[in-house]
Amino acid sequence: MKVIFVITEATPFLKLGGLGEVGGSLPAALQRLGVDVRVIMPKYKGIPDYFRQKLQLISEFKVPVGWRSQDCGLQAMTHQGIKYYFIDNDYYFSRQSIYDEFDKAEQFAFFSRAVLEALLHIPECKPDIVHCHDWPTALIPLMLKAFYQRDPLYYRLKTVFTIHNMEYQGIFPEEVLYDVLGLDKSYYTEDTLKVEGGINYMKAALIHADQITTVSPTYAREIQTAYFGRGLEGWVQKRSESLKGILNGLDYDLYNPAQDPLLKVPYGDSTQPKLDNKLYLQSLLNLPIRGDVPLLGMVTRLTEQKGIDLLAHILEEIMDLDVQLVILGAGNMYYENRLHCLAEKYPEKLAVRTTYSDELAHKIFAGADLFIMPSRFEPCGMSQMMAMHYGAVPVVRNTGGLSDTVISYDNDAERGNGFSFGNYNAHELLYVIQRAIKLFREDQQAWKRIQDNAMHSDFSWEHSAQEYIKIYRSLVEIA
């Protein structure tokens, strides 16, 4: 079985969020189970030099973009046994931001077409499956049918499209269809790419991909409703027979408290050293050094998806409690400023860092007693799994992958591995935090059990990789 993974982020080359975690670890998990996986991604400016220096040129060719054609280089390197290909074009990819450029419709149309052209230049690969991820790669199943169907190389090729986030769909003006994609008006109908306001890349994948997956079973159900489907729910429903929710895994090589070089004191089964990590985190962030105070952690993007508006609403009430709260995350300027102001007002209780730091993230997972993640929606969520594996008890909203990973202590005192609340309501969040803190203070035994359950929840990639393999097999068998 040969699979080409097309993705726009992958650790250790470039990671903005959960997508990059998946790009870095799912291919390795598939490979361990015997699949020949190769990854193709753009050669971004942000990829560190020590990787760029190792790249070897495979080929150079032209890629059609509407009526024009653009130069493209295909470069490759092998990293930890996996072959990575990079689509090289300075004009499109030598930029600071990744998804926010004014011409992103063209950037990712180029990338998608370049991937299909690139396959001709790696004949030894001859894939069975192209596995695409999120809107930047969503045109591939369509382009395959529109431009390449007759070529023997592509004839039997099947496509899988994974939705990591329905919020970002790639909606662009109608002209993009003609000027950038080189398609005609027959693609501008309700049954094709047309949506209110123009054309929709993700819709193209929902129509044309052979199989659709998303990153948790609950999110697979949710996106068939208007609130989560964001206008595409009808198209998701139409494909519900070919839709599967497969929970992401956690890369235990990267996230292992027993062997984590970023921790002050690594720890295995005994959680005692967590206290040392907590005291260290407090000193690092200039908070009073106190073992007894419940330390709440949050590692997040500061966007409304992540429920930052809920937290902001009750922050002063949290500050009335005897707690400490550490927030790491960048994003929306309004919330960044608001948090900085509050951190000045409550220097003994609140520490805020509005940057992106893997190192501090690990230290927070290790030092926090509770991990707060009140997402409005959450396709899978990775940081709750990381936090849990480090023994920080999660407090989450019951949605998407959070529902599929956290068992609330309130519903199941034996198996509970965290706390959850249902409605998107700031005071529900406050009450569940208060309940959790009360238990932390008053029932050490119950607390320890929740913490152990969290640390031992099985989020290994193997199970998910097997699910993907079942899908790949079924597609290849049909062919």
Q: What token pair was written down for 459?
A: 């989020």
Where does residue 304 fall: left (phi above 0), alpha (psi -120 to 50 degrees), or beta otherwise? alpha
Beta-carbon contacts of residue 419 (< 8 Å; ≥ 6 apart):
393, 394, 395, 396, 406, 408, 409, 410, 432, 435, 436
Nearer to ligand GLC, 164 or 353 (CB): 164
**According to the binding rule CB under 6 A, does residue 287 interact with ligand GLC?**
no
Asked if 378 is part of the footprint of ligand GLC (rule: CB under 6 A), the reply reads yes
Nearest distance, CB of residue 88 and ligand GLC, angstroms: 26
Q: Does 22 bind ligand GLC (CB under 6 A)?
A: yes
Q: Which is nearer to ligand GLC, 141 or 379 (CB)?
A: 379
Chosen residue from 31, 137, 211, 248 binding ligand GLC by CB under 6 A: 248
**Number of shown-chain residues binding ligand GLC (CB under 6 A):** 14
**Is the Cβ of residue 193 or residue 387 nearer to ligand GLC in the bound state?**
387
Instruction: Say whether 24 sits in a helix, a strand or coil.
Output: helix
Which residue stretch of 168-176, 309-317, 376-384, 387-395 sits at the interface with ligand GLC (rule: CB under 6 A)?
Answer: 376-384
Q: How far is the CB of 7 from ligand GLC (least distance, A)?
A: 10
Residue 70's SS3 state is strand
Distance CA 82, CA 450 (A): 37
Q: Which amino acid is at 407?
A: I
Scanning 15-23, 75-83, 92-100, 426-434 for contacts with ligand GLC by CB under 6 A, the matching segment is: 15-23
Closer to ligand GLC by CB, 153 or 254: give it: 254
Place of tokens 């099947």: 158
SS3 225: coil
Interface residue with ligand GLC among 5, 13, 14, 18 (CB under 6 A) is 18
Q: Nearer to ligand GLC by C-beta: 65 or 163? A: 163
Would you say 12 or 64 has its CB closer to ligand GLC? 12
Minimum CB separation from ligand GLC for residue 301, in Å?
8
Structure tokens belonging to residue 275: 């206290």
| Nearest residue (beta carbon) to ligand GLC | 18
According to the binding rule CB under 6 A, does residue 416 interact with ligand GLC?
Answer: no
CB burial string 392-427: b at 16+ within 10 A, e below: bbbbbbebbbbbbbbbbbeeeeeebbbbbbeebebe
Q: How far apart are CA 475 and CA 250, in angstroms?
A: 26
Give backbone dihedrals phi and psi of 276, rounded to 5 degrees, phi first: -65, -40
Does residue number 170 form part of the binding site for ligand GLC (CB under 6 A)?
A: no
The residues binding ligand GLC (CB under 6 A) are: 17-19, 22, 164-165, 215, 248, 378-382, 401
